[in-house]
Each structure stands twice: as structure tokens, then as C-alpha cells.
Chains A and B, each alone.
Chain A
Amino acid sequence: MSISIQHISKSYEDVTALKDISFEVKEGELFGLIGPDGAGKTTLFRILTTLLFADEGTATVAGYDVVDNYKDIRNHVGYMPGRFSLYQDLTVEENLTFFATIFGTTIEENYDLIKDIYVQIEPFKNRRAGKLSGGMKQKLALSCALIHKPNVLFLDEPTTGVDPVSRKEFWEMLKRLQKKGITMLVSTPYMDEAALCDRIALIQDGAILEIDTPQEIIKHYPKKIYDIKANNMYELILYLNEYQYNHSVYPFGEFIHYTDKRDDFNPDELVQFLKDKGLENITIQPTATTIEDTFMELAR
């Protein structure tokens, strides 16, 4: 096991950040920690990177205990915090050189590992880090976190606030790194990124809702979901909430995701109900379950 977490709990004053968290990440796995802001993702990352003590429970990273062997962990892991945490007044190259130096290595020594990523920002190597675009900052931060060839890489919300193109590129980079044998724990608030991980843990309010592969998690969803659309979204939501057999009603893009309490649900009945209420252009059709649906079902 590359990361092993056993019954970790943590509170700040009167707020419980983590409640009895346990899970394991296998060697070479790309593991996603999926949940909204305030779910406890960053707290868990800080405990695993030896920056915080847990109130209860134990954890090991790359075989080292996070409390007793914190110095070993600091030599063997890479960490990319949530905020952009590089020196804005240093150039791209100076930042990378600096982090290489404090890890006792050089850019040349580990160039093959970061090459894929670094070549994309190398043309700007004399630009100050503060003047880079969001996507480039992220690539630089990843290069810096990788410069000492860590066994385990912690990425705390690496794609938050980044445009879709950079997000996509970033995940492609992570996939390539995985092929080089690096274990990765990635946190993200974006449910659609869950599908890109080998396994995920859904987390909310400091508790794990479920852990499995994204495919399995979707399979566990107990209901059939329908996409419903009508000429007036607001009234549609009102009437669906009024409908006595509804199990859940959630806006979902241009549709409403609807589930029914009954096993023998007949969509035509619902359409009739909505028509009687005066709605027009009603469409209803079964749709595929997403991680987000599962998350909401579990979090209810």
C-alpha cells in the first residue's frame, strides 16, 4: 500500500473537519478525493503530508508513519497545495532551480521525469511566475513538485479555477505520470473529473460517502434517472416537487433529473400530470447516471 489511512479524525476548535476516515491507495494508483469546499480534503492532505497532526487515527505514506517518520515522508513525497504556491517574483527557471536545490538535486538529473510538462513552459523560462497564465502556473507547480522524483504525489485541487483546456491537458499529464509508477492522490470539487481516476472516494462534511471505482459507484445508484424538460423550467421544478411520487428532483443543465419512488413508474403518467398543470413541450427520457447524481443521493 502506498497510502494507508486508519480512522483519522480531526477537529478545529468547534468544527469537525474529518470524522473517522479510513482508506488505502495502492501503489501506482491514481486516486481521487471528490467533494465540495469544506469537505475536509485539504485537512486530510495536510495530515498526510505531515503538516498537521490528526486528533485520532494513524496513517502511513510510502511505508512511513506520518508522525514518527515525518522526515522520511518529506523526502519522498511531492506536494502541490491548493493555492498557487510558488514565488511570483522569481522566474520559471529560478523557481524550478530553487526547488531542485532544496531537494538536493538538479534540473538535469531528473529532467526526463518533468520533460513532458516542462517543455510546454520552457519558452517562458525567463518570465516571472506571477505573470504566467493559470494553466502555465499549474504546469510549473507540477514540475516543481516532481523535481525530486517523489514516490507519492499529493495534488490538492490542482484544476480549480483553471479553464477547460488546461484542465484536460493537466489530467493527460497525470495519466502519463502514472505510467512512470508514481502514486497520486488528487482532490477535486469537479464531479466530472472523477471518471478520470482509477478509484475515488466521495467526501462531504468530513466523512467518506463511498469508495470504489467510478464505474462501480455509478452502478450502485438505486434508481432510474429521467431527463425532463418543459417550456418553463421554474414551474416544472415546482410541479415535480409537488408530485407525490417523486424521490428526487434536481436541475441538471438544460434538464431536470427526476427519480420516482415507485418501481413500476410510468413516465406517461407524469407527463399527463404536468400537462394538466399547464406545461407544454414536455419531454421525458431515461438518462445515464453520473457521479454527481450518486453524490447527491448519498449526501441526502
Chain B
Amino acid sequence: MKKTNIIQAKNLTKKFGDFTAVNAITFEVKQGEIFGFLGANGAGKTTAMKMLIGISTPTSGEAEVAGLDVYKNPEGIKKSIGYMSQKFALYDDLTVKENITFFGGIYGLSRQQIKEKSTLLINELGLQKVAGELVGSLPLGWKQKLAFSVALLHDPKIIFLDEPTGGVDPITRRQFWEMIYKTAYEGTTVFVTTHYMDEAEYCNRVSIMVDGKIEALDTPKKLKEQFNVASMNDVFLKLARG
């Protein structure tokens, strides 16, 4: 199977007044890939991602996501992607089922589809016992796994994960990565932003943003070889120190 590009960005730029948050970045993400979008806080990751998910219009440059132009069809993009962020994912004061029903409804799933999907999802995650409980009462790790599944409810072509695994215990984190591998295996592209460099090691390819520019883009293995270091953390240290 020939892998096509599902995200294509060319000289994508975003300026706020005099400040260039994203400075002419060019990259592509292939279908079914796990793509790590790395950078320190304030490097421009979030701004770049907002342009890709259709909630911020670029100042200049071009970008296509799932075959749709970010200028002409941001609404279409929103329908073809899933999004999960660490800060906000689910409503704590709604139950597991209510959250699934709500987000299913937002993405236009029929009642029947929601019913089927929620049963499937609850069984897969082993949440049968807590399906009627408030999400706020669940452990952090469960919440994140549930949020991830909810973001996949409408079978998006790409899922954007914004700092998804911060602070969870190592075992849950691995379970989370297993879910990510599975998603990618089934053909959904996974776009992960993170500032945890060890997280980068799990990705197929990573880009590293420094001050609004993409300074490195390759597989973790090749980057480590290129900089002659043992970990992505060291790659980042070398890049940032120039």
C-alpha cells in the first residue's frame, strides 16, 4: 500500500503583531503514521496545531489536512479529525455514558450508532462497572484512555493529541501507547504534541520546533544517530543549545 500524505504544510506561518509564533514550517505526515510534534513550551507547537485543526487561520503559507484546505474548508477539517488535550477532554460532572452520548451527538452520530459505539467502547476499556459513574471520580489514567476513545468515536482520519500522557503512572502510560499503536495500525494517523522527549521515542517520526521553526525532522533513530547521542532528550539539548 502506498502511503499518501494526510497532512501537508508548506511555509505555514502565523504572526501575532510583530511576533512570529510559527515561522514558515514545511512538513508532511503520512497516513497511518505516529507523528511526534515536539518543542519546548512557547516554541509554537500549539499555534501550529491550531492552524491544522481549523481553529486558527494562518497568516501565510499553505496547508492541507485530510485533503482539505485550511483556509477554504476549516469546518470540513473539524469533521474529519479527532482532538484530545490534556487540559480538557471530558466533563467531570457527567457520567461515562453521558460523555460518550454528548460527544457522539456533537459529531453527528445517530442514536443507534452512539448506542452501539458506547457499548463497544465501554467493553473494550473494561469500564462496565463504572459506566454510570461521574467521570470526575475515575482515576486519571482511566479518564485519559476514555478521552482518547471518545475522540475516536466518529472514526476520524487523523487524531490530534495535545500532551496526552503528562503525569500518569508508567504502566497506564504504556497502555495508552498500546492504544495509540492500535489506532495507527488500523489506519488512523496520530499527531502527538508533547514536550516530554522520552515520549518522542515512541513515534515513527518526529519534528522538533525551536522558536517557531522546525529544526529537525526524522525518525527518532536517525536523529539520535545524526546528533550522535543516546536519547531524544539529548537531541533536544543539542538543538536548543545550538
Contact = CB atoms under 8 A, between A and B. Distances in A.
A168 B237 CA distance: 9
B83 interface: no
A112 interface: no
A299 B42 CA distance: 35
B171 interface: yes
Interface residues of B, number: 31
A295 B195 contact: no
In this complex, the member of A134, A191, A250, A253 whose beta carbon has the largest number of chain B beta carbons within 10 angstroms is A253
B80 interface: no
B167 A160 contact: yes
Contact of B170 (A36, A168, A232, A233): A36
Contacts of A250: 171, 174
Contacts, number: 87
Contact of A292 (B41, B170, B195): B170
B170 A295 contact: yes
Interface in B163-180: 166-172, 174, 177-178
Given A251-B177, A251-B178, A163 B170 contact: no
Contacts of B221: 254
Interface in B2-57: 40-42
Interface stretch (B58-66, B118-126, B147-155, B181-189): B181-189
A220 to B, nearest CB: 17
A161 B170 CA distance: 17
A163 B40 contact: yes
B139 A192 contact: no
B140 A163 contact: no
B169 A36 contact: yes
B171 A163 contact: no
Contacts of A165: 40, 236-237, 240-241
B202 interface: yes
A254 B202 contact: yes
A63 interface: no
Majority-rule SS of A interface residues: mixed
A234 B181 contact: yes
Contacts of A232: 185
Contacts of B171: 250, 296, 299-300
B169 A161 contact: no
Contacts of B172: 36
Interface residues of A, number: 34
B222 to A, nearest CB: 11
Nearest to B195: A163
A2 to B, nearest CB: 28
A295 B172 CA distance: 12
A42 to B, nearest CB: 12
B167 A253 contact: no
Contacts of B197: 164
A266 interface: no
Given A163-B195, A251-B178, A204 B169 contact: yes
A98 to B, nearest CB: 26
Contacts of A89: none
Given A38-B139, A161-B195, A253 B184 contact: no
Contacts of B167: 36-38, 160, 189
B139 to A, nearest CB: 7
Contacts of A39: 169
A299 B167 CA distance: 16
28 contacts: A36-B140, A36-B168, A37-B167, A37-B168, A134-B40, A134-B42, A160-B166, A161-B41, A162-B41, A164-B40, A164-B233, A164-B236, A164-B240, A165-B237, A165-B240, A234-B178, A234-B181, A234-B184, A235-B185, A250-B171, A252-B174, A253-B198, A254-B202, A254-B220, A254-B221, A296-B171, A299-B169, A300-B171
Instruction: Give the top 8 A-B pairs by smallest Cβ distance, nearest first.
Output: A253-B201, A163-B40, A37-B167, A36-B169, A234-B185, A234-B181, A165-B240, A251-B177
Interface of A: 35-39, 133-134, 160-166, 168, 189, 191-192, 204, 232-235, 237, 250-254, 292, 295-296, 299-300
Given A36-B169, A133-B42, A134-B40, 20 more contacts: A36-B140, A36-B170, A38-B139, A160-B166, A161-B41, A162-B41, A163-B195, A163-B236, A163-B240, A164-B233, A165-B236, A165-B241, A191-B170, A204-B169, A232-B185, A234-B182, A250-B174, A251-B174, A251-B178, A296-B171
